Amino acid sequence: MIGRDNELEAITAAAARVTDRGCALVVEGEPGIGKTTLLAAATAWTQSRGFTVLSCAGVQSQATVGYAGLHELVHPILSCADALPEHQRTTLLAAFGLAESGMPNPLLIGVATLGLIEEAAATRPMLLVIDDAQWLDDSSQHVVTFVGRRLAQSPVMMLCAARSRIDGESSQLASLPHLQLDALDIAPSRVLMKEALSGVDGQGLSEATQLRVLTEAAGNPLAIVELTKALLTGADEKAPPSATPLPTTRRIERAFLGQLETVPEPSRRMLGLIAAGGDTRLAELADAARRVGLSDGDLDPLERSGLISVVAGSLQVRHPLIRSVSYRVTPLTQRCAFHHALAEATADAMRAAWHRSAAAYGPDEAVAADLETAAQAAQLRGANAEAARAWRRAAALSPSANQRIRRLVTAIEPAYRAGLTAEAMDILDEAEPLATDLRHRFDLAFARFTLAVTTGVTAPPVEDLVVLADQLGGHGESDARIRLLAAAAAQCRMHGLDECDRELVAERLHELEHLDHPSVEVALTTIEDTEYARQFRCRAASLQDALSGDLTALMSMGLAAEAASDLATAQSCWEGSIEVARRTGAPGIECEALRGAARSQIIAGQLTEAAVSAHNAFQIATDADLRLSMGAAAALLARIQACQGDTTSAQHSLATAQRHLPSDTPLLWRDDLAWASGLLALTTHDNERAFTELSQMNRDRSSRRWAIADLTEAAVASGHARVIHHLVDEIDTEASTLGSPHVVMLVHRSRALLAGTDQRAEHHFHAALNVGEAAAQAPLEYARTRLTYGEWLRRQRRIIDARTQLTAALRVFEHRDAQPWAQRTRGELRAAGVQVPGAASAIDILATKLSPQELQIAQLAAGGLTNRQIADQIYISHRTVAAHLYKIFPKLGVTRRAQLRDAIATPVGE
C-alpha cells in the first residue's frame, strides 16, 4: 500500500469495532484510483484476525441476471439458510432459483439475506467485500444496500468499492457511508513510479519522461503504473505529450490498448470472447471458444502478459478497463459471433437469452420469445429490475407491433415494483403512442394512474380516463370501464376535487348505478361524499367483503371511507390492503396502505399504533427508494411526534418530508405536510405560523374537516378569526349531511372558540360534548374539547366546573402520551388550585418507553409469536428481533417472555 495509510487505518479501525457495532462503507473513486488494492489490504488485515470473508464482484455483462452478485456473495454460507424462518428461507432460495415461492417479495429477500449473514457471523466476525459494486445487477444492489443499513446489531463489516458517477452518487449505494479515494499526492506518486521502475535494466525513464507520466496520470495509481509500463516497452512511443492531457480513464485505456497489440491476434480474439462472456465458467468459455475457432492455448499469451490470471479454476481479468477496451475494439460481426457461441455454450437460459439478444441485428421473434421466458423466470425469483429490462428488450426485438406493445405494457409493473420509477415512465412514454388496441390503452392508463398515485408522476387527465372508459363500455368491456372510472374518482380525490372533473366522473358513475357494482358505490362515495356517506356506512361491511381480494379496490374503499368520515371502515380497509400487499409481494403498495392506516389512526387518536404504521411505511419507502412516499410517511410521523410533544423529532421529520415532497406536487400529501407543520407550530405556541400552515390545507376536503378545530384555534390565537367563519359554516353543513359525530363535535368546538367570552360559547361546548359517539370514535379530540371548555370555564371563574373537565381531559392525554395538551391541562389545573404532578404519569408505558418498532415486536411476542414468526411478519431478521427483545425486557421491567402479556395487558388505545 502506497499513499493510502490513512484510508486503510479508517477501515481497519471500523473493522476492529464490529463486535460492538457492525457497519458498511463504500469506497468510491475513479477507475484505477486504488479501490481494489485497498479492499485487498483490508481483507488481509481481517483474515489475519480471524474474520470470515465473503466476496463478490460486479461484472458489467452480468448486470442483466437478477441476484447473480448476491448469489456469488452468500453461496459459501447457504448451508445456514436452514436456521432462517421458513418463509424467509424459501424466499431467499427462490431468488437463486433453488426453490419455488410464488412471486418473492424483494424486501423479504433482503431480510432473509441479513438473517443468513447474521447466522454465519454468530461465532466469528465477518467481512463482506463487494468490488465493482456499480456493476452489480440491480436486485443484488438493492439487497446489499438493505443489508448495509441494518448491520449495527451484527459483528459484520460490509466493504464495497464503486466508481464515482458523474452526478456524484453510486446508485442505490448512495445511502451508505462513503469513503472517497482522491488522487495521490506527488510524493507517493513518485514512490509508486519508483516501484514500477525497480528491476528495469538500463536508464529506465528520464526525469522529463517521468514528469510527463506523473502529469498525465494525475495521481491515479493505475495510470502511473500502466503509463510507465507502456513507455518502458515502447508501446506509447507514438503518443507525444499533449497540451491538454486526456482524461485519466481514456489515458489508461490507451495504455491497455497498447498492451493488447503485443499479443497474438487469436489471443486478442480470446480476450474479446472473455469480455463478451463476463464471468462465464471456464468450461463454458472453452466450449464457446471452440465454436469460434479458438483454443485453450490462446489463453497462454494473455496469462504471460499479465492481462489475465487463473485462480482456483476461475479466470480473472487484471482490470475491468481491459474488458471494456477489448470488447470495444472487437468488430461488430465478431462480437455477434462471440455472443452466439456463448449462448450455445451456457446452460443458463437467462444468460443465453441475453447473449442472443446482444447478437441480434434487428427484430427477431425467436430471440424476443426467449427474453420473454427469461423475464417471466426473473419475476418468479423476485428479480423485478432484470425482468423489466428483459421485457423491454424483448419488445424492442419484436417484429409485430402488437407483440411489442404487449411486452412494453408487461414491463411496467416489474419496473415499478423494483422502484425504477424513471424507467417505468420511460416505458409508458414509449408505449402510449404505439397503443391502438383498447385493452392495451386501458392497461397503460391504469399503470399511469397507479404510478401517479404512488410516486407523484404526471397523472393522466381525468377527462382522458372518462373518454377511454366510454370507449371500453361501447365495446362491452364493462368491468374495465368501471375500474377506469373508479381510478378517475380516486384521482379526483388524490389531486383535490376539481368541480368539473368531479361532475364528469359522477355523471358516468350514475349511469352505472343500476349494475349495483360495489366499485361503483365506492367511487361515488369518493367524489360525492356528503350525498353517499350514510348509505356507505350502512353497506360498508358487505362492500368490503365483495372487494376483499382486489388490492386496488380495497385501497380505493379506504379513501372513500375517509371521505365519508367513516374511520372504522377506513382502518379495516387499510389493514386488509396491508395483508394482501404483503401476501402478494408488493412492498410499494404496502407502504401506501400503511400510510393510509397511520392517517386514520392519528385522526382516531391512536397515536401509538399510528407511530408503528408510519414508521413501517417510512422504512419500506426508504428500502424501495420511493422518495415521495418517504416524504408522505415522514409528514405523518411529524404530526404524531407533534402530538406527543417530541418537538426535536417532529422538526427532523418535517425537514425530511419537505425534502421529499416537492411544493408543486398536486397530491393531497401536501395537506398532510401542512397539517403536521401547523400542528407543531400550534403546540409550540407559534400561532401565526400555525394559521399560515393550516390555511394551506386545500387539496383534501376530508382532511380539512378533520383539521377545522386546529385551524380555528390557530386563527383565534393569531387574530384571524374573522376570515374562517365561512369555512366553519361550510363544514357545519357538510357535517350534518355526512352524519359524522366526530366532525360535528369539531364544528361545535370551533364555534365555541369563535364565540370567545360570549355565553353562546357554552352552548357549543355542551353540544360538542353531548355528541356521545365522538368520545368513543375520537377520544383524543374529545379530551381536547374538554380542555378547551375547562379553560373557558376557569376564565369565567367557574373553578369547580373547570376542574371536572380538566381532570377528565388530563387522564386521556396522559394515557395517550399527548404531552403538549397534558402539560397545558396541568397548568390550567394548577391555576384552578389543583396540585398535579409536574410530569406525565406512566399510564401508557408502551408509548412512553418503547420505540415504534420495539412496541410492534413486544405486542407480537406477547401474542405468543416466536422470534422467527415475528421476523416473517415484519421486515427484520429473527436475530434482530432477539436483540430488540433484549432491550425491551428491562424497559418494561420484565425478565421473561411470559411476562410480556401482563406488561402490556391494557391494549393501547383503550
Please name the amino acid found at residue 864.
G
Separation CA 368–CA 366 (nearest Å): 5
**Residue 294 has which C-alpha cell?**
479458438
CB 24 within 8 A of CB 148: yes
Does some domain include residue 867?
yes
Domain boundary among 138, 165, 180: 180
Co-location of 565 and 674 in the same domain: no
DSSP state, residue 460: P
Residue 757: left (phi > 0), alpha (psi -120 to 50), or beta?
alpha
Separation CA 89–CA 65 (nearest Å): 21
β-strand pairing of 156-163 with 126-131: parallel
Helix 499-511 and helix 518-527, axial crossing angle in degrees, nearest 10:
160
Instruction: Indicate the burial class of 433 (C-beta count within 10 angstroms; 0-12, 13-18, 19 or more).
Output: exposed
Co-location of 21 and 164 in the same domain: yes
Does some domain include residue 837?
no
Instruction: Give the structural domain span for 537.
Output: 460-468+484-583
Co-location of 571 and 591 in the same domain: no
CB 504 within 8 A of CB 466: yes
Q: Which helix (H) or strand (E) holds 53?
A: strand 52-57
CB 428 within 8 A of CB 434: no
Distances in whole angstroms, Cα of residue 805 to Cα of each of 753, 782, 820: 16, 11, 17
Co-location of 46 and 152 in the same domain: yes
**Residue 143 has which C-alpha cell?**
439487497
Q: Which helix (H) or strand (E) holds 314?
A: strand 314-317
Separation CA 621–CA 634 (nearest Å): 10
Does some domain include residue 417?
no
Name residues whose C-beta falls within 8 Å of residue 777's C-beta, 6 or more positions apart in sequence: 567, 568, 604, 741, 742
Looking at the DSSP bridge assignments, the partners of residue 310 are: 315
Task: Residue 93: name the closest of 749, 849, 214, 108 by CA.
Answer: 108
DSSP state, residue 512: T
CB atoms within 10 A of CB 664: 7
Domain boundary among 260, 293, 309: 260
Structural domain total, the chain: 5
Does some domain include residue 773?
no
What is the CA angle 310-314-315, rounded to 5?
55
**Which parts of the chain sit beneath pLDDT 50?**
167-170, 202, 235, 237-245, 839-844, 906-910
Co-location of 530 and 611 in the same domain: no
Task: Residue 526: name the closest of 495, 573, 486, 499 by CA.
Answer: 486
Separation CA 523–CA 559 (nearest Å): 9
DSSP state, residue 157: E
Tell me how far the alpha carbon of residue 448 is from its chain's centroid.
19
Please name the amino acid found at residue 435.
A
Co-location of 157 and 254 in the same domain: no
Report the chain's C-alpha Rg in angstroms: 32
Separation CA 115–CA 691 (nearest Å): 48
Tell me how far the alpha carbon of residue 711 is from its chain's centroid.
33
Name residues whose C-beta falls within 8 Å of residue 220's C-beta, 6 or more positions apart in sequence: 30, 32, 33, 183, 184, 248, 252
CB 520 within 8 A of CB 512: yes
Give pLDDT, residue 639: 97
Co-location of 168 and 97 in the same domain: yes
Distances in whole angstroms, Cα of residue 517 to Cα of each of 202, 422, 482, 798: 92, 35, 9, 56
CB atoms within 10 A of CB 166: 5
Co-location of 112 and 46 in the same domain: yes
CB 117 within 8 A of CB 74: yes
Does some domain include residue 323?
no
pLDDT digit string (tens) for 90-114? 999 999 988 877 777 888 899 999 9
Does some domain include residue 809?
no
Question: Is residue 480 classed as helix, strand or coil in its secondary structure?
Answer: helix
Separation CA 853–CA 861 (nearest Å): 12
Co-location of 100 and 124 in the same domain: yes
Distances in whole angstroms, Cα of residue 204 to Cα of each of 345, 570, 699, 734: 46, 80, 75, 90
Does some domain include residue 420?
no
* H helix and E strand count, the chain: 48, 7
Task: Residue 143: name the closest of 79, 69, 86 by CA.
Answer: 69
Question: Is residue 191 classed as helix, strand or coil in its secondary structure?
Answer: helix
Q: Which helix (H) or strand (E) holds 28?
A: strand 23-29
Residue 684: left (phi > 0), alpha (psi -120 to 50), or beta?
alpha
Domain boundary among 244, 260, 276: 260
**Residue 41 has which C-alpha cell?**
489490504
Give pLDDT, residue 288: 94
Co-location of 193 and 256 in the same domain: yes
Does some domain include residue 388?
no
CATH assignment at residue 896: 1.10.10.10
CB atoms within 10 A of CB 277: 26
Co-location of 31 and 54 in the same domain: yes
Task: Residue 791: name the closest of 716, 855, 739, 856 by CA.
Answer: 716
CATH assignment at residue 644: 1.25.40.10
Task: Residue 671: name the closest of 650, 689, 696, 639 by CA.
Answer: 696
CATH assignment at residue 80: 3.40.50.300
CATH assignment at residue 535: 1.25.40
Co-location of 511 and 558 in the same domain: yes
